[in-house]
Structure formats: structure tokens, C-alpha cells
Structure 1
């Protein structure tokens, strides 16, 4: 009887040791999905300045987090919503260039997401609004034969800090996320 309890305890400890690295996402991790989109390096925005064809164009958010436009120069974009960027550009244009600029800013291309681990082709991929982890894995050629197929480790920037956690493959992703598909044990 004692041997049976010892074997059970060892088996339980071995099975739980696989969960030792499990880290559930913090509450802010999923809350970030409901917040307004914040621009960052790698995004491309379509800026429309009505009745000003020379200013209307697509602009990239550079590595430093700025958008460079004619007349106004660089405008900080990192961490801004498209609406906040609209206001910043309008303020700069009012400063000696246009009397009452009417501006629209929308995200034309989102920054990429990254996927690695047990997928056919890891790397950097284009983000499409509404993507889930499962869609991202499909874009990477699907699971490898050794992949854990129910959950993945996801890393994202939340409130300016890096946060990681294990999520289901049905969870949505955001631009800039890094997905790691783990190897299964059995």
C-alpha cells in the first residue's frame, strides 16, 4: 500500500512539473484587447488632409515612433491613437500652414506579428484585424507534428510593459504580438 502511494505521489509530481512554467495572463493582458488601438513602429497610416492633395498620403511610423510629413516635419505617433495623431497633425498644420485643417488618420497597414516554435514556418507575418492565434498558426503553415495544439505562449506589450501568458488558440492577437507554440509532451 505504501509503495502504491509513493508511485502515485511521484506520478503526480511528474505531471505537475510540466505545469511549473505555466503562467496565466494578467488581467490587463486581455483588457488591452478592448482598448483603442495604439500606433507603434511598423504601422502605416493613411493621412487625408481634405483639399490638400500634396499632404494626403500614406506615412510609415518609423523606428523612433514618428511620422514624417511635408511642411510639419516629424510628428510623434508611438502610443497615440489614430484620433490623437489627427489632433497632433492638425495642431502643427494650424501653426502657420493651414487655417482650419480637416484631417483623417486611419491605419492602412498594421505592424506584423511574430510566431515561432512548433509551426511549419516561423517568422514575421502581416496582421489582419480580427486574427486569432489559430489564424496566425495557419499563416505560418500550421502546426508541426510535435506541437501542443490547445494553448500557446503569447507575449504582448501592455501599458508600455512586456507581458506574457498562456492562451487558448481561439484567443485574438494584436499587431506586434509574439506567439510561441510549445512542443507537446506525449
Structure 2
């Protein structure tokens, strides 16, 4: 019962952590799998939602593929505006907003292993809570995180912050 209460508290804190200051949004770098809302102001037919493909690019009307991986949302807006201004629009005012980041995956000894939406500030404990909490066989001291971009594996604690694309694996305790 106590584990369920802790899981609920952690899940609520994940929702609250999504309301992070806008300053964090300016530092986040786009990666493959991020879902974006791209608005071309004054040209609503060009406004779209798109997901960065495996190469970190999106396909846009009139201009084709535009590579955005590694850029902030503001830099991505500038790059897209530049693409539209090279032959299609005199002046392009573009805004980019991240709708969804790459997901995180929680595997191993949790109640509901699977894919979960990433929220800024997400910790291992919060991800475990999203996955229904630890199973009865879980060893909370045996947690591994595999970083999404680099693939590097490292031991982690419950307070370890996750990044988009990370995989959390909770090990099994031996009785």
C-alpha cells in the first residue's frame, strides 16, 4: 500500500514538474523523435505539426527536409524561416514549440514496463511511478539508465534525472 501511495505522489510530481519555467525551453536541444508545432505566421496553410525523423529532420511544405537536431526551438524557427525566405516568402515569421519529447522507457521489475512520455525534470523514481511502481521482486538499489543519445550505461539512483530517449532498467532482488 505504501508503495502505491509513493507511486501516486511521484506521478503527481511529474505532472507538476512539466510546468517548468520557460527559460528551460530555450536550452533544450531538439533530437530525433521530438514532436513539434511549427507556425508560419500569416501563412496558416504552412503551419503544421511534425516529428523529427531518425536523421533529426522534418519535412515541410514547399521547402522539403530541414535538419533541426541539436538546435533550440528558437534556432529551429530561424532555420525554418530562412528556408522559406529562400525562394518562397519575402519575410517569414516562424515559431516552434516542442509538443512531445522523445519518450523514456522503463523496463525490468516494475508493474507496467513500457514507453512513457518524457517531461522536463523527470527522475528515475518518477518514471518508476509512471510505470506503476516497483514490482515485489524489484531491487531499488539495482537501477541502470542507458542514455538515449550516447547509449552509455550507468548505475543510477531514484533521484537521477532522465533525458529524452533514456531507458531505465530496474533489476531483480535475490531473496
**Pair 1:149 & 2:140 matched:** yes
Greater gyration radius: 1
CA distance in 2, matches of 1:134, 1:161: 22
- TM superposition score normalised by structure 2: 0.78
Residue 162 of structure 1: which of 140, 151, 168 is its match? Answer: 151
Structure-1-length-normalised TM-score: 0.73
Aligned counterparts, 1:56-71, within 5 A: 56-71=47-62
Looking at structure 2, the residues matched to 55 and 156 of structure 1 have their Cα atoms a distance apart, in angstroms, of: 35
State the number of aligned residues. Answer: 151
The match for 2:165 is: 176
Structure 1 residue 95, shift from structure 2 partner: 0.3
Give the aligned partner of residue 53 of structure 1: 44
Give unmatched runs, 5+ long, in structure 1: 1-32
Q: Does 1:38 align with 2:29?
A: yes
Secondary structure, aligned partner of 1:54 = helix
1:101 shift after superposition = 1.2
Equivalent residue, structure 2, for 1:106? 97
For residue 38 of structure 2, give the secondary structure of its aligned residue in structure 1: strand
Contact 1:116 1:122 in 2 (8 A): yes
C-alpha contact (below 8 Å) 2:142/2:172 kept by paired residues: no
